[in-house]
Every structure is written in C-alpha cells, then in structure tokens.
Structure 1
C-alpha cells in the first residue's frame, strides 16, 4: 500500500491519498477540505480515485467529502453509524469551528468492526475504535503494517474526549485493546501531526505507555 499525506484545512489535518501500486487505483482518507489540492496530487501521481474513506465525523476530516464524491462520482465509505449525528450536524460544526458552510450528508456505506475495504488489489481491515467519537473507525493494512488512526492516537498524545458522546475510558480501551494487538511494528498516520509507531507510543506516550497502565 502506497500513500501520500496532504495536510488540509486550517487544522492541518492529515488527509491521505492511498493506492495500490499494481492497479494505480486509489482512495482518499479524510478529505477535510482543500479539494483542488487533493485532486491535483492524485493527478500528479497518475492515480484513479475510486472511493473516499472516513475515520469519523468531525468537520476537519469530512468537510470536503461530499463535494469530492459529487465531483468524481465516487462513494463515501465510513465511518461507523454511531457518528451519524456528527454528519447530520455539519452546518453547526461549520459555525462552531469557523469553517465555510458545509451541508450534512449520508455516506454511501457505514462501516462495522471486522469489515474489509479494498483499494485496487490491496485490503484494509476495519476496526471500530470509539472514544474520541462514538463511531470512529481505524483502517489497517496488515500487508504494509500501516494504520490510519484518525484522532484516536497521536505521537505523544491521544484524542480529545471533551466532545458530545466522547468517552475517555472507551478511548483508552480502543487504543490498548484494538490497536496494540495489531503489533508494535505498525506505523500509524494520525489525524494531525507526525507519524509514529505503536512501539514508540507504548514506550513513551504520556497517556497510554505500558508502564502507566500496568
């Protein structure tokens, strides 16, 4: 699985273009905005975008999804249905976070724990990782040992849990019970900031390091 990170929106959210090198078919994970930049990068890479993948319903991750889907006639896949209220409230999110107005939308397909999503001949497994939001999804490529974790986990930090229906205990459980079993060597792309590995976070993250939770 190949990928290119494209920071978008004033929140510098890590949108990712991911693709199958054999088929050149691609998906975009969390197109929060700056659609022209995303489309330009896809074109430069010589890829055909076939779907949009969403980790959760916050505006900096989904703000450009519907526009991009309509522009390219491609489906929006994810997040889990528990984040439906976030997608229905996008107009209010626009006001609260100072974004241009964005209408609510319904994805083509919601995702559940254990689902698989294909990108060309590559397969991503789906983990439901609530806590930051109730319907947060993580995408994992076992072949490439990469995970797109949205706002569940960051380098040296974890997702906020002060939003409606956030839950700190759930978030810690999602990290320790869903992410850590994927293996210490997994590289992860967070929703914001630099990449890291699960091994690094288990050793040094001040919120979820092993020694803190033992």
Structure 2
C-alpha cells in the first residue's frame, strides 16, 4: 500500500473535490480545499481514523475554502496556502457566499502563505508547492513526487482548463503554468482536479483541447 492515501469528497452545489489526504504510517492527514459541508468532511475523517494536522488550500475561491476558517477554529488547525496573491479572494468570501446562496462563510489569514518551490509536510510526507497563476493569481498545486500524484485545484481538468474570466485571471498565465510547470514533471503523474474525474498529465498532453502538444504546437 502506498504511504500516501487519499479520498475524494465532493462538496457544495459545485461538486468541488475536497481531498482527504493522509500518511498511512502516522495517520496524520489534511483536507485539501475544504469548501463546504464541514460535518460530512469530519465524518469521513473519523471513519478513516485520520488525525488532521493542518488544512491546505489551493486557491481562494469560495467553493474551495468556504469552511476552512470554521474547521481551523473548531479543531485548532493551522492553514497553509494559497499564495498571498489570492488574499483578495479570501477577504471577499463572506460577500460571495451571500451572493451565490452558500451558507455563511468567514474569511481567514493563512498561518503560512505559500511560494513557488516551498515544501509542505504532512506526517512523513513531503509535497512540492507549485505556484500556478492563471485561474487565480495565487493558485498553488501540491505535488507528492514519490506517489506521482498532484492536487491541482482549478488549474487543469480532464479535457479542460480553469476559467480565466474572473478578476485577475489570465489565460496565457494559465497555459504557461500548465505547460511549463506541471507537464514537465512527467506524463505518468495522476492529478486530482477541483471538479470532475482524475486524469494524468500525459493524457492531457495528448488530448486536452486547450493545452495538448498538438494544440500548442510543441
């Protein structure tokens, strides 16, 4: 059994993929992008026997971090991520929750803003932090090299890419993030997107209509 274990828990009306991730040896874990449904998330944590060590956030959109402040306070957990360029998104969450009909949501300040090249520790596991702007300016990706698994938020999806029509989104930045920061890490890497099914970097290089080699001209 791989030391890294993960379970995908779709939350909110947007079916956002919150990931429960843990070290099978220490049973220390995290929730990546706790966007909603806190009681359901905690029930899954308890069912797996995981002890949450921290909360990880890929970017500041409401459906990805809507209950992070609540869980951090309830459980006394530190928050790591995203990059500080997403602070304006996190600050606006209370208003956005009301606008989109979400349950009330609180903003927060992470205990650790993340930068490109940082490392995040979870039990005995180390994750590389990759800053991937485009969908949002402060979006980060968590990559566990030994397991060839990445948690990419809304940067890349099976057959698609993240939207860039939000404030401070940038289409070319997103393409560059995917092509220059993610794909070079290897075709075999599986990734958990923010919505929808798992895919691999190799599959998207071959067939993604936005970033495939044949589309970009590589």
Q: TM > 0.5 between the two? A: yes
Q: Does 1:4 align with 2:12?
A: no
Structure 2 residue aligned with 1:51: 54
Partner secondary structure for residue 146 of structure 2? coil
Q: Which residue of 2 aligns with 1:83?
A: 86
1:154-193 matches, cutoff 5 A: 154-193=157-196
Of the three residues 31, 34, 39, the one matched with 1:31 is 34
TM-score by length of structure 1 reads 0.99
Alignment partners' CA distance in 1, 2:196 and 2:148: 19
Distance across 2 between alignment mates of 1:38 and 1:92: 24
In 2, Cα distance between equivalents of 1:145 and 1:68:
28
Q: 2:64 aligns with which of 54, 57, 61?
A: 61
Q: Among residues 17, 20, 34, which one is paired with 1:17 in the alignment?
A: 20
Give the corresponding residue for 2:108.
105
Residue 133 of structure 2 is aligned to residue 130 of structure 1: yes
Give the count of matched residue pairs. Answer: 214
Please say if residues 58 and 140 of structure 2, whose CA atoms lie closer than 8 Å, have aligned partners that are also in contact. yes
On the 8 A contact 2:192/2:199 being kept in 1, the answer is yes
In 2: Cα distance, 1:32 partner to 1:116 partner: 23
Q: 1:91-143, CA deviations, whole angstroms, 9 ceiling, x for partnerless residues? A: 22113322122122111110000000011001100000000000000000000
Question: Counterparts of 2:99 and 2:195 in 1: how far apart (Å)?
Answer: 19
Q: Which of 205, 211, 218 in structure 2 is aligned with 1:208?
A: 211
The equivalent of 1:72 in structure 2 is 75
Q: Contact 2:70–2:106 at 8 Å: present in 1 too?
A: no
Q: What's the counterpart of residue 147 of structure 1?
A: 150
Give the distance between the partners of 1:8 and 1:81, measured in 2 at CA: 24
Shift of the alpha carbon at 1:28?
Answer: 0.6
3-state DSSP of counterpart to 1:143: helix
CA distance in 2, matches of 1:145, 1:177: 17
For residues 179 and 212 of structure 2, the distance between their equivalents in structure 1, rounded to whole angstroms, comes to 10
Q: Does 2:116 correspond to 1:92? A: no
TM-score (norm 2): 0.97
Consecutive unaligned residues of structure 1, counting only runs of 5 or more, are none
